[in-house]
């Protein structure tokens, strides 16, 4: 665990050198670990924007975890709205519309680096993730994946060791948690868009 802990710290220290750093937060277990370490490194949130994308169909448990994160870490989470009031998302076939990607672009506008909770173990589409990458979609922007080499077991060990808050749906078999209409219990990302060929929402697709 020591090697991975050093890796996490060193990657986030490098990320924290950027003047305009964004941490994209979905309130899952990975974000619990990253926020804890970011706070230790930065000593505050003056230079780090923590942003979430709200689709309007998040689980009630996600909204509650959002509040717990803000209280525990002393951070204010900025919101980018990806909801569609005229045509709400109702299932996997009507999920992760261009509105979500547009919200991501607004989140990253003017930034020079962003931090994600991507891990290689999560899915084949993420198996090549590196700790520090050039963002292929955004010239001049760095993408930091400080947990790239961590396993599920590693993440939980850190959470329990430090008594960090985490999303309660993880205790109900949800390894990965997205929007309520298109997320089911499952290992890895198997519960996301179950029954469809979809594997990513567009945010981490090159």
Sorted by where each starts, the structural domains of the chain and their CATH numbers stand as 2-182 (3.40.50.620)
**Strands of the sheet with 113-115, listed across from one edge:** 78-81, 48-54, 21-24, 113-115, 142-144, 132-134
Task: Give per-residue pLDDT as tens, 42-79.
Answer: 888 888 999 999 988 899 999 999 999 999 999 999 99
Q: Is the pLDDT of residue 199 over 70?
A: no
Mean pLDDT of the chain: 86
Per-residue pLDDT, 101? 82
Tell me the catalytic residues: 201
pLDDT of residue 153: 95
Cα 110-133-107 angle, rounded to 5 deg: 30
10 pLDDT higher than 80:
yes
Q: pTM of the entire structure?
A: 0.85
Percent of the chain with pLDDT over 90: 61
Indicate if the pLDDT at residue 123 is higher than 90. no
């Amino acid at each position: 665990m020591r090697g991975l802990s050093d890796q996490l710290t060193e990657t986030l220290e490098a990320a924290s050198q950027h003047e305009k750093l964004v941490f994209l937060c979905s309130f899952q277990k990975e974000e619990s670990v990253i926020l804890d370490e970011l706070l230790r490194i930065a000593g505050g949130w003056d230079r780090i924007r923590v942003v979430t994308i709200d689709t309007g169909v998040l689980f009630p448990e996600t909204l509650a975890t959002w509040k717990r994160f803000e209280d525990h870490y002393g951070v204010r989470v900025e919101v980018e709205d990806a909801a569609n009031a005229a045509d709400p998302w109702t299932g996997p076939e009507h999920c992760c519309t261009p509105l979500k990607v547009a919200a991501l672009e607004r989140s990253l506008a003017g930034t020079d680096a962003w931090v994600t909770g991507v891990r290689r173990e999560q899915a084949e589409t993420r198996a090549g993730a590196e700790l520090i990458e050039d963002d292929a979609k955004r010239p001049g922007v760095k993408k930091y994946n400080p947990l790239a080499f961590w396993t599920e077991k590693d993440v939980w060990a850190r959470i329990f060791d430090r008594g960090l808050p985490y999303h309660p749906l993880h205790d109900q078999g949800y390894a990965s948690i997205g929007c309520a209409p298109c997320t089911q219990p499952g290992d890895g990302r198997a519960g996301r868009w179950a029954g469809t060929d979809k594997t990513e929402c567009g945010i981490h697709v090159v």
